[in-house]
Amino acid sequence: MDFELKTLDAAGAAQEKTDVLLVLVTDGFQAGKDPVSRLAGAAVAGGDLETKAGKLLQAYRSEGIAAPRVLLAGAGDGSGKKVQQAVQAAAGVLRSSKARKLTILLPKGAGADVVRAAVCGTADSSYVYVATKSKPEGRELKKVVIAVADAGAQREAFARAKAAAVGIEFARELGNLPPNYATPSRLGEEATRLAKAHRLQVEVLGPKEVARIGMGSFMSVAKGSAEPLRFITLRYEGAAKGEAPVVLVGKGITFDTGGISIKPSAEMDEMKFDMGGAASVLGTFRALAELKPRINVVGLIPACENMPDGASYKPGDILTTLSGQTVEVLNTDAEGRLILCDALTYAERFKPRAVIDIATLTGACVIALGGIRSGLFATDDDLAQQLLAAGDAALDPCWRLPLDEEYAEGLKTNFADVANVAGRAGGAVVAAKFLHRFTQNYPWAHLDIAGTAWKGGAQKGATGRPVGLLLEYLLAQVGTAPAAGKRAAGKKAAAKSRGRAAA
């Protein structure tokens, strides 16, 4: 889909050649003298259009307006959130209209958040999955003009919004692919293709290399599958070589049956979305490639299936992680933390300024926060604040949950350094506490996206979250890297280093 940013006021929008003109009408709307705002003003005055976000009124062949269809949409107070709701509401009408070109007239004074909401909202609600349909009918909408008072002032916001939309869509597409398509190898191929197209660095490791590195925990999860595991490293270098990177770690379980601790059959198909963390890392790199900000970012993706088999790992097994810590497996369905822990230890070799893992980790997080906010855990208050702010700004919000030591109590075992599960209580926090053990040498945050990475039911599909949040966070880091040797974790990292060489 092609987006264009254009300087157009209501009078200009009236003359724009377009299939549909979407007019966002905010509270206290003042009608001007041009045909578009006269139409909107009359609709509000006549009581036929409420300005509450999501309210719609259609007009056909209106006097003085070039577009055959005009869609008036209430946009409330004109905030990004309300504009997103307005665009989502309009999407249904747009789909049935089969419009190819849409022009959106943003409210007066629209800022960066509104531009983003309009671009991402349109991209989001016009997306159609076709990859495995025999008669693919793709998205009808080909061209979207974003009409603002001053295009120059919104150029930067527009570029960011487009990059976010592309990244989110890439993550959705990967997430939606069936598990017999989106295998660990396929994720490796997608990373390689992305890297080749945009000059990113990529490395895709297989079982032998991962064994040689010593990722005993990750390897164990993969043992029951006929699909070979992959460990993907992507590097985006937009800043000086020496500048410490942010490392993103994405859970890439391409199908989670639960393994020997097998899951019930109902809705098990949705466990194809268990690579949502990995998809969000790939989507974020897609967006970075588009925008080219001055920052260094590393993406790490442990990818495998979790299957029951004669060769599977099993309850009671003791695994030796890359960190050297041993883990007793008490439930093979708590596999996400077992692949992430090795990736989190591996992350140390990049001397990161921060490490953020993204994972569809626990059903408990779905119970706690539903599908609205992702769960956020962080060992660093600044990092937590930045991620919370980025999530709010990107309309991809998260909510901080605790990491008190007491939550790790249930992970004690007589047979290893730690068990992989405790009781059911506080399951999202307990999972985070397990990961916490492997993140002592850098500022760390964990996003549990079990509730937000996809939707079930009639609208079943990947959401592309939290690409919007991650991109917003990364862009806010541009130019803020601490001077070499002054990193917060620098001292600690040196003291606790187990002598591994830097990559």
Residue 413 touching ligand BES (CB under 6 A): no
Shortest spacing between CB 271 and ligand BES, in angstroms:
6
CA distance linking residue 367 with residue 370, whole number of Å: 6
Nearer to Mn ion, 263 or 492 (CB): 263
Site for Zn ion in 328-347 (CB under 5 A): 336
Task: Name the token pair of 189.
Answer: 């191929």
CA distance linking residue 394 with residue 413, whole number of Å: 41
Shortest spacing between CB 372 and Mn ion, in angstroms:
22
Shortest spacing between CB 274 and Zn ion, in angstroms:
4
Beta bridge partner(s), residue 105: 23, 147
Nearer to ligand BES, 96 or 459 (CB): 459
Tell me the window of 119-127, 198-206, 254-262, 284-292 that interacts with Zn ion (CB under 5 A). Answer: 254-262
Nearer to ligand BES, 190 or 335 (CB): 335
Closest CA to 391 of 145, 81, 181, 18: 81
Among 115, 450, 462, 474, binds ligand BES (CB under 6 A): 450
Site for Mn ion in 327-386 (CB under 5 A): 333, 335
Shortest spacing between CB 241 and Zn ion, in angstroms:
36
Strand ranges (E), 211-295:
230-237, 246-250, 252-256
CA distance linking residue 104 with residue 340, whole number of Å: 43
Site for ligand BES in 259-298 (CB under 6 A): 274
Residue 427 touching ligand BES (CB under 6 A): yes
Residue 452 touching ligand BES (CB under 6 A): no
Beta bridge partner(s), residue 368: none
Torsion of CA 358, 129, 270, 85, to 10 degrees: 70
Site for Mn ion in 255-294 (CB under 5 A): 256
Count the alpha carbons within 13 Å of 305 in the hemisphere toward its beta carbon. Answer: 24
3-state DSSP of 145-184: EEEECCHHHHHHHHHHHHHHHHHHHHHHHHHHCCCCCCCH
Q: Which residues have CB under 8 Å from 451's CB, separation 6+?
A: 365, 366, 369, 370, 371, 372, 374, 375
- Catalytic hit among 82, 172, 337, 487: 337
Shortest spacing between CB 260 and Mn ion, in angstroms:
11
Nearer to Mn ion, 19 or 256 (CB): 256
Q: Under a CB-based contact definition with an 8 Å cutoff, are residues 300 and 346 in contact?
A: yes
Among 34, 113, 173, 274, binds Zn ion (CB under 5 A): 274
Nearer to Zn ion, 236 or 438 (CB): 438
**Residue 421 contact partner, candidates ligand BES, Mn ion, Zn ion, none, CB within 5 to 8 A by sort of partner:** ligand BES
Site for ligand BES in 134-153 (CB under 6 A): none
Residue 360 touching ligand BES (CB under 6 A): yes
Closest CA to 118 of 167, 70, 158, 170: 158
Binding mask 320-359 for ligand BES (x = CB under 6 A): -----------x-xxxx-----------------------
CA distance linking residue 121 with residue 391, whole number of Å: 16
- Catalytic hit among 263, 314, 400, 455: 263
Sort 163 into a burial class: Cβ within 10 Å, 0-12 / 13-18 / 19+. buried
Q: Which residues of 458-481 are buried (b: 16+ CB within 10 A; e: fewer)?
A: eeeebbbbbbbbbbbbbbbbeeeb
CA distance linking residue 211 with residue 213, whole number of Å: 5
Give me the amino acid identity at 80. Answer: G
Residues in the chain: 503
Among 16, 173, 256, 448, binds Zn ion (CB under 5 A): 256
Residue 305 touching Zn ion (CB under 5 A): no
- Backbone φ and ψ for 486, nearest 5 degrees, come out as -110, 10
**Residue 362 contact partner, candidates Zn ion, ligand BES, Mn ion, none, CB within 5 to 8 A by sort of partner:** ligand BES
Among 16, 190, 256, 396, binds ligand BES (CB under 6 A): 256
Shortest spacing between CB 332 and ligand BES, in angstroms:
8
Nearer to ligand BES, 234 or 334 (CB): 334
Please say if 172 is a catalytic residue. no
Please say if 263 is a catalytic residue. yes
Tell me the window of 132-140, 142-150, 274-282, 391-399 that interacts with Zn ion (CB under 5 A). Answer: 274-282
- Backbone φ and ψ for 153, nearest 5 degrees, come out as -70, -20
Tell me the window of 39-47, 250-258, 436-444, 476-484 that interacts with Zn ion (CB under 5 A). Answer: 250-258
Q: Which positions lie near Zn ion, rule CB under 5 A?
A: 253, 256, 274, 336
Residues in touch with ligand BES (CB under 6 A): 256, 274, 331, 333-336, 360-364, 366, 421, 427, 450
Binding site for Mn ion (CB under 5 A): 256, 333, 335
- Residues annotated as catalytic are 263, 337
